[in-house]
Amino acid sequence: MSVQSVDNPETEAALPDEEPDKLLHAAFVAGDESAFDRIVERHHERVARLAYRLLGWRGDVDDVVQDVFLAALKQLRRFRGESSLSTWLTTITINTCRTHRRKQLLRLRWWTARRDAGEPMRGAPADPFRDEASEEVRRAVQALPARDREVIVLFYLEDKPTAEIAKLLNVSANAVDIRLHRARERLRPMLTEWVED
């Protein structure tokens, strides 16, 4: 497993999705600090998107994404490769978002949250009906308790199976099913107008 093979884009393209991560991790452990840059490059968009969804499409996710990669940088040498790097980063993202929310509550920054909630979305759709519906759906998901929002995001938007969500959240698959059911029940009255029966 050589460091050189990572730097060769042809080799990287030929490898399956997880292989470059393994090589990058090995390179980092071997002392190649630039491997971390490549890991960030590969995963930052996915991490940012997940954090944005978990925080209810509110605020600036840059801080959270930096926290995620800072935690990853600190722990990367101890990462044992029992799961894929992508799954590991997903777990860190979930935990970082929880910490971020807790910090926001502790700092009593409710006014910031309200201001951020009012910020227009980048790349908003042109269709007014769709725009209104999307806004309503986002508001409904934002209104969910954080734990319910996590399962909704991971199941419906990240398309993760229940078993994987259970692993990521460190709960049983049964608990995930219960949270999903509860979240759907909470969303139902808010979204009846937009969902076809």
Query: Between residues 82 and 159, which has the closer beta carbon with respect to other proteins?
Result: 159
Q: Binding to other proteins by residue 57, rule CB under 8 A? A: yes
Task: Report the chain's terminal Cα–Cα distance, integer Å.
Answer: 54
The stretch near other proteins (CB under 8 A) out of 11-19, 54-62, 92-100, 103-111 is: 54-62
- Could you say which of 77, 80, 107, 122 contacts other proteins (CB under 8 A)? 122
3-state secondary structure the chain: CCHHHHHCHHHHHHCCCHHHHHHHHHHHHCCCCHHHHHHHHHHHHHHHHHHHHHCCCCCCCHHHHHHHHHHHHHHHHHCCCCCCHHHHHHHHHHHHHHHHHHHHHHCCCHHHHHHHHCCCCCCCCCCHHHHHHHHHHHHHHHCCCHHHHHHHHHHHHCCCCHHHHHHHHCCCHHHHHHHHHHHHHHHHHHHCCCCCC
CB of 129 to other proteins, least distance (A): 11
- Cβ atoms within 10 Å, residue 74: 9
Q: Binding to other proteins by residue 52, rule CB under 8 A? A: yes
CB of 176 to other proteins, least distance (A): 15
- Could you say which of 2, 30, 41, 75 contacts other proteins (CB under 8 A)? 41
Query: Between residues 121 and 170, which has the closer beta carbon with respect to other proteins?
Result: 121
Q: Binding to other proteins by residue 78, rule CB under 8 A? A: no
User: Contact, 166 vs 172, CB < 8 A?
Assistant: yes
CB of 175 to other proteins, least distance (A): 19
CB of 51 to other proteins, least distance (A): 7
Q: Binding to other proteins by residue 51, rule CB under 8 A? A: yes
Task: Give the footprint of other proteins on this chain (CB under 8 A).
Answer: 36-37, 40-41, 44-45, 48-49, 51-53, 57, 60-62, 65-66, 69-70, 73-74, 121-124, 130, 133-135, 137-138, 141, 152, 156-157, 184, 187-188, 191-192, 194-197
